[in-house]
Amino acid sequence: MDVELEYDRLGGRLRAIGGATITYDRLGRRARTLGDWALEYDELGIRLRSIGDSELDYGRKSGLPATLGDLTLEYTGFSRQLTHVGPYEVGYDRFGSRVRTIGPLTLVYDRLGSRPRRAELPADYPFLPEDLLRVLFLVLYLRTQQEEEETPASG
């Protein structure tokens, strides 16, 4: 099964994962919903705090999410690269720059290789399970956050 990842034309923001539409705040900076789930942020509006009823708790030292609901997030040492979300292993290309797999999902990128266009599931998955939808969104969200931190501000 293929799960299409849709982006808006101008801003390049992720607009949908399969049938789950993603809406944004008035400024278009923060995702507010993923399908029927509300996305909640901390008081400053900086850190994602929940995806629907699955809360994100952050580690004290790293500032990275440590759990998503009952799923534990694991990272490599100094690179702070996400390696697991619960039972789902997160795999990268040989340079470690692009997420290639998330558990049973395989991400397929656009021609330039800059963003994933679809996620492929093995034949024994007739649909994208809710927990895997949350994990996929979180991984893409965290990669976007990391890319924004690495890109110097212009101006």
- For the segment 121-154, what is each residue's pLDDT rounded down to a tens digit? 999 999 999 999 999 999 999 988 887 777 655 5
Burial tier of 22 (Cβ tally within 10 Å: 0-12, 13-18, 19+): buried
What SS3 state is found at 103? coil
- For the segment 3-59, what is each residue's pLDDT rounded down to a tens digit? 999 999 876 899 999 999 999 998 888 999 999 999 999 988 789 999 999 999 998
